[in-house]
Structure formats: C-alpha cells, structure tokens
Amino acid sequence: MNYKVGVISGDGIGPEIVNEAKKVLDSVGAKFGHKFEYTEILMGGASIDVHGVPLTDEAIAAAKASDAVLMGSIGGDTTTSPWYQLPPNLRPEAGLLSIRKALNLFANVRPAVLYKELKDACPLKDEVIGDGFDMVIMRELTGGLYFGERKTIEENGVMKAYDSLAYDENEIRRIAIRGFDIAMKRNKKVTSVDKANVLDSSRLWRKVVEEVAKDYPEVTYEHMLVDNCAMQLVKNPRQFDVILTENMFGDILSDEASMVTGSIGMLSSASLNETKFGLYEPSHGSAPDIAGKNIANPIATVLSAAMMLRYSFDLSKEADAIENAVKKVLADGYRTIDIMSEGCTQVGCDKMGDLLCERI
C-alpha cells in the first residue's frame, strides 16, 4: 500500500536522524511491499528562517493532508540562537504547541524501554532492573492545568497567581479508551494514576476510567496515587505496562520513566488524535551541541517510525521488524556515542541507519 508521510525534519540533529528513519522505512517498504511518500513540512527554526514564523497555515494543511507525520526535533541553543530573541509566540517551540492544537493531538504515548544490552546506562540497581523493563506512559496532552484558566493579580499589595485544573468526562474518556486500546496491543495492564485523595478532577478521572475499564474485561487495571507512582517507577519499574494519566502528572512521570532507562537517544513517542492520525517524534530535543557531526543516535526516531506503522497504519509485522532490527543491532554490539560502552563498536548516525536497514 501507499502511505503519505508528512516529514518535519526540524532543527539541530533533526535532519540527520529523520534521514535515517526514512532509510529504515524504505527498507521496510521494500521488504513488505509498501511505498512511503514523503512531504517535507517546515516547522520550528527552519520555518522561522524561511517564513518568519515557526508554523504556517500551509504547513498545518500539509500535515493534515498526510496519513501521519514523522518529526525529528525542533529548536536551537536557547542561549545563543537568534530564534530565542523573538517573542515567545514566534520561537521554535510555539510551532509544536500550535501543531498539537491544530491536529487535536490529545493522547501522548511515550514508551520507556530498558533493553538488557543497555543495562549499564540505567541508574537503578541490577536486582531492580532484572531483565529490563518495557512500559508506556499514556499522557493526556491538551487539557488539565496547562490549558486551564490562569491569572496573576495583586490583592492588598500581595501578588497572587492562579492556575486551574479542569477536565470534563469526555476528555477523560477519550484518553482512557486510547490507554486501554494500547494495553490490548501489549501486556493488558493499565495503571491509572491520579491524586484522588485530594483533587476533584482526579475523582472524576477515577470514575470515568472505571466505566471505560468495563469495556475491556481482558485488561487488568489498578489505580495508583501519583506520589506513589513516582516512587514505584524507581522501586519496581517492571510492574508497569501502560501508565494512564493526566497532563501534568504525565509530563513529570514520563521524564522520570525515560531517565530510568538512562538513554534518551533511544526513546520514541507518539501524539495521537481520535482518528488514526498521529505525530511521531523522539522524546529528546534537537541536541544543537552535536548537530551536523554525524554522531547523533537515530534509534529514537527510527522507533518513532515503528510506532507510526503500528498505530497509524496498523502494520504490526512491519513495526516488529524495526523493533527487532534495533534489538539485533544492539546485540551485535553496535553503539552510537551516547550509549557506547566498553567492548562495543562505536558508529555514527548514518552507519547506525545502514546497520538497521541490513537487519530489517
């Protein structure tokens, strides 16, 4: 089949890592009889340089016309790049917020996987790590505290600031459904994380999740308070399959989960809406410090492409082929500089892409 893939190469290492992901996709296409047609879309600093704004209406239209969007990363060095002299709404990151909103990408999926070959990079003890872990954080992305009403006022000469955390049941239901759907494609366990002992929004969250769970009798689910979840992630990360949570808790927990894997260059992500459409990108940034040196790790972007095949195109076998190629390349001892360890062979960004293609 033919698939239309919008491609946001972005800034910094973005073009290098996206190039490798496209090479791997093309190898998958050749093996399984698919064609991926790429449309380049400008966003972030690359768009500012050409159009003066981080995202144009034409770019949004091109993204909407695609079956899915694959992205590298946007942004530059926030202290030295001229992009950060611009007002906040014209800086590179504003493009990302705008595209999430324009495409209604309310569900953020971030796997945190520790491969046994990369155990040395994990800051946790061996007995905690065991054979490694493999979980997904499903974070609500367009509601809650970050999108609620806010104001700062002065009362009797004292400054006071308000942020409001609101969720309606429909917002909770649609992310919960996404979470349970993804659990069905994995190990069928959902841990719904909230602060129901204190917050009304969390009590509603819990009630709606319980309703949704009834439609998924095969999925085991539990509720966990967010403070406990933060502890459990370092105490026993192997207990988790899908962690389902609201925007701010997910923001914090997904960073914690990715740090316990110890290798940011390996972590993929997807942002999904109610259709099959999704925006797929590595969890890391544009790494301006290593841009143009051909040393970036392309694996997070390659694994994001695998997520695109699995979630937007329903191509599970093809996604498995990419994920297995990553495992093989690690087992064969090849590493980019960020995950290098003694006895392994260090390779650059493009060589890593070639090695992955050979293993598809």
Residue keyed to tokens 């996404």: 178
* Residue tagged active-site, from 131, 168, 215, 227: 227
For ligand NAD, which residue of 15, 76, 250, 353 counts as binding (CB under 6 A)? 76
Is 318 one of the binding residues for ligand NAD (CB under 6 A)?
Answer: no
Is 286 one of the binding residues for ligand NAD (CB under 6 A)?
Answer: yes
Is 67 one of the binding residues for ligand NAD (CB under 6 A)?
Answer: no
Active site residue 146: yes
Is 246 one of the binding residues for ligand NAD (CB under 6 A)?
Answer: no
Burial (CB count <10 Å: 0-12, 13-18, 19+), residue 146: middle
- Taking the alpha carbons of 332, 338, 343, 349 in that order, is the dihedral positive or negative? positive
Least distance CB 144 / ligand NAD (angstroms): 19
Please calculate the CA angle 145-270-337 and round it to the nearest 5 degrees: 110
Is 341 one of the binding residues for ligand NAD (CB under 6 A)?
Answer: no
Tell me which residues in 287-306 interact with ligand NAD (CB under 6 A). Answer: 287-290, 296-297, 300
Directed axis angle between helix 14-32 and helix 349-358, to 10°? 10
* Residue tagged active-site, from 4, 101, 195, 327: 195
Enumerate residues 6+ apart whose C-beta is below 8 A from 263. Answer: 118, 121, 297, 338, 339
Active site residue 26: no
Number of residues counted as binding ligand NAD (CB under 6 A):
23
Is 98 one of the binding residues for ligand NAD (CB under 6 A)?
Answer: no
Stretch that binds ligand NAD, among 74-82, 118-126, 142-150, 196-204 (CB under 6 A): 74-82
Tell me the pairing of strands 268-272 and 242-245.
unpaired
CA dist list (Å): 199 to 140, 145, 167, 238: 17, 12, 11, 28
CA dist list (Å): 14 to 18, 46, 251: 6, 10, 22
User: Which C-beta is closer to ligand NAD: that of 204 or that of 299?
Assistant: 299
For ligand NAD, which residue of 54, 75, 237, 278 counts as binding (CB under 6 A)? 75
User: Which C-beta is closer to ligand NAD: that of 56 or that of 73?
Assistant: 73
Active site residue 215: no
Is 111 one of the binding residues for ligand NAD (CB under 6 A)?
Answer: no
H helix count then E strand count, the chain: 12, 14
348/334 Cα distance (integer angstroms): 10
Is 91 one of the binding residues for ligand NAD (CB under 6 A)?
Answer: no
Active site residue 49: no
Q: Catalytic residues, which ones?
A: 146, 195, 227, 251, 255
Residues that bind ligand NAD (CB under 6 A): 13, 17, 73-76, 78, 93, 96, 264-265, 281, 284-290, 296-297, 300, 338
